[in-house]
Structure 1
């Protein structure tokens, strides 16, 4: 792709996002409609649990049978208990199906690393879910959510190698510009979202990886977030007022979770120490298709 075509493509894609007026987090749903919000970094499961039949008359043939209750309070309590069990199972299944990076899902990674399995089990057993129950006629609408980021989130339980290397600096002579963050447009690619995607140049050099970022930022805010739009309000919250926009050239890695950027654009991004510092603070957003 020549430079003129590259710039024109960036302009076209960004303008479409800007004028669409459609601000939406990237949400990924599985077969059970358990969803991951990749902007808020939450996992949410929903189910409708039948409310046990209320039988308060001792002469009723159903009195005392399994699946019944003698009053509304007991009926709600029994339904909540069953709903919690189902919700926790679905959250656990969804978490383990997450792509950790381009090599593993969390289930695969924990299977090869006993300490990771122990940490994930610990996270799940500590019951960090928040619940919402709404009785509706004969069912209990139930929802449970878990955080991936924050000190109480899943990322705090995953042993990763953070901040062991310095972000590389290119030798190309470019005018240094301080950027407040990085926005990679991958809406034209079939990118698979993961907790720890790598970003590299078209020369094969990693320029964003867990080894470059500060652990506290990765845990508190998430290593990276995804959106389907470039609404200015959401951009500024994550990547500041002057982020560097770049169109991804392609995908990399076994799971197709990593991104490739043009080397000349990477040189611009990494030209200023403040830009590199903001990368270590995880000020990175990836735009994906709906």
Structure 2
């Protein structure tokens, strides 16, 4: 019989990995975060709650940063916090890397349609807010999703699915894989919305031009993780993904990854594996 102590250790080991696995995040100078694992942008601020002055004879009555009731005081704090959070989320969004060549801001400068769509998205107030009043301070947090119908990917124009996934003519027995996992934890990889994966001979294996827009928007074009544990990993790449070790990074922004040609040939030998590329069943392992 297994002892209670050993049982506890086994349970902790099995669930601890998933519980304590850290998401892959990029922070800016305001600590606004792009969570590439959960695919969301988050920003937070602290706002001092205006002083409540209800006595008309008080010299501060109707003064700057004062309110005549708690409800008005909280409302003023929420308004200021929302204004700051909208600016910070917008700044963080535009500073994200779009692909190997551009940040999102740079991309919108060369693509007028993208600029109009992004401005419309920012003005549509898709943010989700959380407000917590702690003594005389409002702790406020706002988030913007990357994927989903209200996410960034649904509102930035991109040419999806204009090309066919490449096929290799090498003589081998085709094996079906549920997805592709590229291990780049040994490399200094910059995270982007649309990284590409290519072979050491320069052939693209994964690109927006290969994928279906519905899958990219709903599941995210790419997910970055530090490990391969947990249900969310399986949800992205299935139960039998093909693992490959990246050789190097590529592109001006060092967001793209290079893998061996023979490894790409093994993965793409089966038509269902190629179909899973079009379904965005691709994940990149990186170090924080």
Shared fold (TM-score, shorter chain, > 0.5): yes
- What's 1:188 paired with? 186
- What's 1:78 paired with? 76
1:148 deviates by 1.1
Deviations 1:210-266 (A, max 9, x none): 000001000111101101111143321110000000110000000000000011110
Q: Aligned with 1:275: secondary structure?
A: helix
- The answer to whether the 8 Å contact 1:130/1:146 transfers is yes
- The answer to whether the 8 Å contact 1:201/1:261 transfers is yes
CA distance, structure 1, for counterparts of residue 204 and residue 185 of structure 2: 21
Of 163, 166, 169, the match for 2:164: 166
- The answer to whether the 8 Å contact 1:24/1:229 transfers is no
CA distance, structure 2, for counterparts of residue 262 and residue 193 of structure 1: 21
1:194 deviates by 0.3
- What's 2:151 paired with? 153
1:162 deviates by 0.5
CA distance, structure 1, for counterparts of residue 61 and residue 178 of structure 2: 66
- What's 2:29 paired with? 31
Deviates more, 1:265-274 or 1:165-174: 165-174
Does residue 141 of structure 2 align to residue 104 of structure 1?
A: no
- What's 2:261 paired with? 263
Q: Aligned with 1:33: secondary structure?
A: coil
CA distance, structure 2, for counterparts of residue 28 and residue 222 of structure 1: 17
Deviations 1:87-113 (A, max 9, x none): 000000000001110000011011122
TM-score (norm: length of structure 1):
0.92
1:175 deviates by 1.6
1:174 deviates by 1.9
- The answer to whether the 8 Å contact 1:199/1:207 transfers is yes
Count of residues in correspondence between the two structures:
273
TM-score (norm: length of structure 2):
0.92
CA distance, structure 2, for counterparts of residue 176 and residue 106 of structure 1: 39
- What's 1:219 paired with? 217
Of 196, 211, 236, the match for 1:238: 236
Q: Aligned with 1:218: secondary structure?
A: helix
1:32 deviates by 0.6
CA distance, structure 1, for counterparts of residue 47 and residue 230 of structure 2: 40
CA distance, structure 2, for counterparts of residue 107 and residue 283 of structure 1: 27
- What's 2:227 paired with? 229
CA distance, structure 2, for counterparts of residue 157 and residue 64 of structure 1: 43
- What's 1:63 paired with? 61
1:28 deviates by 1.3
Give the gaps of 5 or more residues in structure 2: 1-13
CA distance, structure 2, for counterparts of residue 28 and residue 19 of structure 1: 26
CA distance, structure 2, for counterparts of residue 20 and residue 134 of structure 1: 29
- What's 1:9 paired with? none
- The answer to whether the 8 Å contact 1:155/1:219 transfers is yes
* Backbone CA RMSD of aligned residues: 1.4
Deviations 1:145-188 (A, max 9, x none): 01111111111111111101111011212221100001110110
Give the gaps of 5 or more residues in structure 1: 1-17
